Amino acid sequence: MTDATAPSPRGTEELEGTVFDIGYQRYVGPREGRNRARWAVYKDGLRLALGLGRGARAKVIPWFFITLLGVIGLIMALIAGAVNTYIGPNAAEALDLPSHSDYYGIASIVFFVFAAVGAPEMLCPDRKDGVINLYLVRPLTGSDYVSARWLAFFTVMVSVAWLPQLILLAGLSLSNANPGDYLLENWLDIPRLLTAGLAMAAYTTSLAMFVASFTTRRAYASVFLVGLFVITAPFTTGLAAELAEDFENTAGQWVSMFNLSNIPVHVNDLIFDDVSLITSVAPAGEFSGWVLVGWYFLWTLVPAGLLWMRYRKLTP
């Protein structure tokens, strides 16, 4: 017990207060179990991915990439807006300037590098620091943990995928003399860009987190993922071109399928029913839509499933 005596503001009386140490109090409030635990890990995942509640250094990388992706969308919107304003209404469309269907193709490398840098943050530090052991002795299983982390990163990736597209949509509609008419004429772009964004985010999240689950060092996972996404592109493109000259085109097409940065962009092309800039030269684009969609699901669901199985084994 501590007695605290202080002069009154008027200086004429003395106020006396007593602070009691009531000792340890048992917790009698609600215990919300597994759902609360999952939600807590999900929220923590969002904070980790965006560097929220951390120092400035933790915020630099995610917000640099988010800004960069937004700027790409903004530049596309400004160019289209300028063309529509100075050349004439719908001139951007008539000139076939890059639009919603091209955005994911143009920004995919930035998007993949962001995933390569961000996904290891979701899993590696918890294993490196041993925090995973503290999670798993609480009302949370290994699969709960990894599902919550996957969803958290997926949420960030979806937001990052949609935000520039929405900037572009706003730019295109506002540069039109009648924005309402533009939206009515191009309303189909909205579900398309949302679906394509989901596809991009699911693919990158699954693949990046699966790779991150093999190491406790964030840098190793990031370097490997950047290599996987960025280096497979020129390698497979060159090899596919060589094979196309020497053999039947099918071999080149299959090599081109291993260009990991193009896999979700092919799906984007199918969703928009248009060929984007980077896939227009890819031999894999000649495969039927079913093959491309199947290939996408293989590269999305298999890593996600293997990731889930690796963590499920941590608890009986």
Partner 1 sequence: MTALLTAENLTKHYDDVIALDGVSFEISEGITGVLGENGAGKSTAFKIFLGLLRPTSGTATILGENASESVAVRSRLGYMPEHDCLPSTVSAAEFLTHLAEVSGLPPTRARIRAADTLRHTGLFEERYRAMGGYSTGMKQRVKLAQALVHDPTIVFLDEPTAGLDPVGREEMLALVRKTHREFGISVLFSSHLMVDVERTCDRIIVLRGGRLVQSGEMEEFTKDTETVFIEVDDNRDRLVVALEERGVLVTSDGHGLCIEGSDESVYDKIRAALVESEAPLRRMAPRKGELTELFRLDGEADPENGKAT
Q: Does 219 bind partner 1 (CB under 8 A)?
A: no
Binding segment for partner 1 (CB under 8 A), chosen from 37-45, 203-211, 224-232, 293-301, is 37-45
Angle between helices 142-174 and 56-86 (to 10 degrees): 30
- Residue 127 beta carbon to partner 1: minimum distance, rounded to whole angstroms: 11
Instruction: Choose between 10 and 31: whose C-beta lies nearer to partner 1.
Output: 31
For partner 1, the closer CB: 27 or 86 = 27
Q: Is 150 in the site for partner 1 (CB under 8 A)?
A: no
Q: Which of 7, 15, 52, 54 binds partner 1 (CB under 8 A)?
A: 54
44 near partner 1, rule: CB under 8 A: yes
Q: Determine the interface stretch with partner 1 among 49-57, 182-190, 198-206, 294-302 (rule: CB under 8 A).
A: 49-57
Which of 141, 261 has the CB closer to partner 1? 141
Residue ranges in 88-127 that form contacts with partner 1 under rule CB under 8 A:
125
Is 315 a residue that touches partner 1 (CB under 8 A)? yes
How buried is residue 193: exposed, middle or buried, by Cβ count under 10 Å (0-12/13-18/19+)?
Answer: buried
153 touches partner 1 by CB under 8 A: no
Which of 7, 33, 179, 227 binds partner 1 (CB under 8 A)? It is: 33
d(CA 181, CA 82): 18
User: Binding to partner 1 by residue 308, rule CB under 8 A?
Assistant: no
Window contacting partner 1 (CB under 8 A); options: 59-67, 132-140, 221-229, 263-271:
132-140
Count of C-beta atoms within a 10 Å radius of residue 8: 9
Q: Which stretch binds partner 1 (CB under 8 A): 53-61, 167-175, 207-215, 229-237?
A: 53-61
Options 78, 139, 291, 297; binder of partner 1; rule CB under 8 A: 139
Binding mask 12-31 for partner 1 (x = CB under 8 A): -----------xxxxx-xxx
Nearer to partner 1, 62 or 303 (CB): 62
Q: Does 140 participate in binding partner 1 (rule CB under 8 A)?
A: yes
Of 102 and 121, which has the nearer Cβ to partner 1?
121
- The pair of structure tokens assigned to 314 is 């941590």
CA distance 55 to 59: 7
- Our CB check for partner 1 shows the closer of 126 and 189 to be 126
> Which residues of this chain interact with partner 1, rule CB under 8 A?
23-27, 29-34, 36-37, 39-41, 44, 53-55, 58, 125, 129-131, 133-141, 314-316
